[in-house]
Amino acid sequence: MSSLLIKQGRIVDPVSRRDEVASLLIEDGVIVDVDSSRTDADRVIDATGKIVVPGLIDMRVSLREPGHKEDETIFSGTAAALAGGFTTIACMPDTDPPVDNRAAAEFVILQAERARHCRVVPIGAITKQLKGEELAEIGQLVEGGAAAFCDAKRPLANSEVMRRAFEYSKMMDRPLFHSPQVLELIAGGMMHEGYYSTLLGIPAMPSAAETIMIHRDITLAEMTGGRIHLMGMTTRQGVEQIRQARSRGVSVTADVTPHHLFFTDESMKSFDSKYKVFPPFRTESDIDALLAGLQDGTIDVICSDHQPFAEEKVICELDQTPFGVVGLETVLPACIIRLIQTGVLDWLALIEKLTINPAKILGIEAGTLTEGAIADITIIDAEREVTINPDQFLSKGKRTPFAGMKLSGKVQTVLVGGEVRYEAV
């Protein structure tokens, strides 16, 4: 029987509401004692002055394999996830071919197992080929390991198809993930519609594109009794819509990215593509509403929305470059600076949104440090200052709006199933 002792770290576990200095004993990959008096084991990790949390879980990651290995592979993406403190990630179906059948879902799982980095949970496509016209084989995808269904960044415009998706996913007890935007309103847009889009002369996307689609999704969820997870909230009105829907008992959850808590549409004054994201950065008023939504639980989860692209795809003109930035390796330091150090959230609340909440939505057993749990664990040096250098990323993608910024917090050690898979140098 192999044993590992994590000694005298600050244990932060939202499930047990534990936030105290203690030692964790792990045997054969399982947590067996959360307040161990043991001083020896086959391996001892001194976590004095560090924060010990359940392995982080990211619900929205694009890994690009198969089809676009120049952008990312399952090997490089999962390596980046470990470096960011993530022991489980959910993989978007926007590959080529898409994850719209059982074999495609099983391929993702097999490649992740071969990589031996973090765990990967496939998200199946809602519609065949992500075209928004015909439902994918929902039942077969579940058999292949799909934890949820989503057409990635492609909003599903056809309300009848969406209704049927709700009905089928409800039978399978799986949520639908959706990017709530009205396609006709965002066509050709590159940033938020407002003062700065007018000043810069850049085609824009109005807030209404998000709020109109949120209303439709919530209405269909309420009508069918299905579960909807709204991806990438950006608007003040959208947060309020979710808050009101929850008060009526609608099964709706939502997430936000760290970069949407930092940057506004003013950033586009630089015409730098590292600020070209979908949905776009909006206003300070919207950010205030997102922060309030995190505080009161309206927004359940923080996601990286990891969107890697090869260098040659991001150095062209603004209207030619794709939307999206990488995020796996910057989530934690960005959250510490924006949420912990400002007092918006405490450690228990932050880790809840990065562990047990995504685990519940995905329906997986993870996100806790309680006795008997699988030892997926992240150890954090929260006080260590870091300067974001994309050249040091393990991801193939390097475009990030945090490049050159001084943030706080460094992932020290990551265990998956009790095995040390990552240690910072």
pLDDT, tens digit (0-9, with 9 covering 90-100), for 300-352: 999 999 999 999 999 999 999 999 999 999 999 999 999 999 999 999 999 99
pLDDT of residue 53: 98
Residue 368 within a domain: no
Residue 285, pLDDT > 90, answer yes
The torsion region of residue 367 among left (phi > 0), alpha (psi -120 to 50) and beta comes to left
Active site (annotated) includes residue 71: no
pLDDT of residue 275: 98
* 142 and 36 belong to one structural domain: no
Residue where a domain terminates, one of 319, 339, 362:
362
Residue 13, pLDDT > 80, answer yes
- Separation of alpha carbons 353 and 359, rounded Å: 10
Q: How many CB atoms lie within 10 A of CB 423?
A: 13
pLDDT of residue 196: 98
* 259 and 297 belong to one structural domain: yes
Half-sphere exposure of 130 (CA within 13 A, CB side): 19
* 354 and 378 belong to one structural domain: no
Domain hosting residue 212, numbered range: 55-362
* 46 and 63 belong to one structural domain: no
Kindly report whether the peptide bond that precedes residue 390 is cis, defined as omega within 30 degrees of 0: no
* 343 and 411 belong to one structural domain: no
* 103 and 74 belong to one structural domain: yes
pLDDT of residue 224: 98
Residue 38, pLDDT > 90, answer no
pLDDT of residue 18: 97
Residue 43, pLDDT > 80, answer yes
Cα→Cα distances 388→34, 166, 333, 393, 407, Å = 34, 41, 9, 9, 7
The pLDDT of 233-248, averaged and rounded, is 98
- Separation of alpha carbons 14 and 332, rounded Å: 16
Q: Give the CATH number, domain containing residue 167.
A: 3.20.20.140
Query: What average pLDDT does the structure give for the chain?
Result: 97
- Separation of alpha carbons 79 and 65, rounded Å: 14
* 47 and 185 belong to one structural domain: no
Residue 381 within a domain: yes
pLDDT of residue 117: 98
The pLDDT of 267-282, averaged and rounded, is 98
The pLDDT of 228-242, averaged and rounded, is 98
Confidence of residue 267 (pLDDT cuts 50, 70, 90): very high
pLDDT of residue 277: 98
Do residues 150 and 125 lie in contact, with contact meaning Cβ atoms separated by under 8 Å? Answer: yes
Measured torsion, CA atoms of residues 339, 341, 345, 350, in degrees rounded to the nearest 10: 70
Going by their DSSP bridges, the two strands 176-178 and 191-192 should be labelled as: unpaired
pLDDT of residue 7: 96
Confidence of residue 153 (pLDDT cuts 50, 70, 90): very high
Out of 30-44, 163-177, 330-344, 398-412, which region has the weakest mean confidence (pLDDT)? Answer: 30-44
* 41 and 149 belong to one structural domain: no
Do residues 55 and 378 lie in contact, with contact meaning Cβ atoms separated by under 8 Å? Answer: yes
* 353 and 248 belong to one structural domain: yes
Residue 393 within a domain: yes
User: Which among 405, 239, 267, 413 is positioned nearest to 334, based on CA atoms?
Assistant: 405
Q: For helices 236-247 and 208-224, give the axis angle rounded to 10 degrees.
A: 10
Residue 367 within a domain: no
pLDDT of residue 25: 97
Residue whose pair of structure tokens reads 């020290």 in the numeric block: 412
pLDDT of residue 425: 83
The pLDDT of 222-243, averaged and rounded, is 98
Residue 155 within a domain: yes
Residue whose pair of structure tokens reads 């719209």 in the numeric block: 100
- Among the listed residues 46, 305, 346, 391, the single catalytic one is 305
* 161 and 83 belong to one structural domain: yes
What's the token pair of residue 280?
């776009």
- Separation of alpha carbons 62 and 309, rounded Å: 10
Residue 1, pLDDT > 80, answer no
* 91 and 173 belong to one structural domain: yes
Residue 273 within a domain: yes
* HEC string for the chain: CCEEEEEEEEEEECCCCEEEEEEEEEECCEEEECCCCCCCCCEEEECCCCEEEECEEEEEECCCCCCCCCCCCHHHHHHHHHHCCEEEEEECCCCCCCCCCHHHHHHHHHHHHHHCCCEEEECECCEHHHCCCCECCHHHHHHCCCCCEECCCCCCCCHHHHHHHHHHHHHCCCCEEECCCCHHHHCCCCEECCHHHHHHCCCEECCHHHHHHHHHHHHHHHHHCCCEEECCCCCHHHHHHHHHHHHCCCCEEEEECCHHHHCCHHHHHHCCHHHCCCCCCCCHHHHHHHHHHHHHCCCCEECCCECCCCHHHHCCCCCCCCCCCCCCCCHHHHHHHHHHCCCCCCHHHHHHHHCHHHHHHHCCCCCCCCCCCECCEEEEEEEEEEECCHHHCCCCCCCCCCCCCEEEEEEEEEEECCEEEEECC
* 30 and 140 belong to one structural domain: no
- Separation of alpha carbons 149 and 160, rounded Å: 16
Residue 292 within a domain: yes
- The type of residue at 98 is P
Q: Give the CATH number, domain containing residue 12.
A: 2.30.40.10
Prediction pTM value: 0.97
Confidence of residue 167 (pLDDT cuts 50, 70, 90): very high
- Separation of alpha carbons 78 and 144, rounded Å: 20
Residue 18 within a domain: yes
pLDDT of residue 37: 85
The domain tally of the chain equals 2
Residue where a domain terminates, one of 309, 342, 362:
362
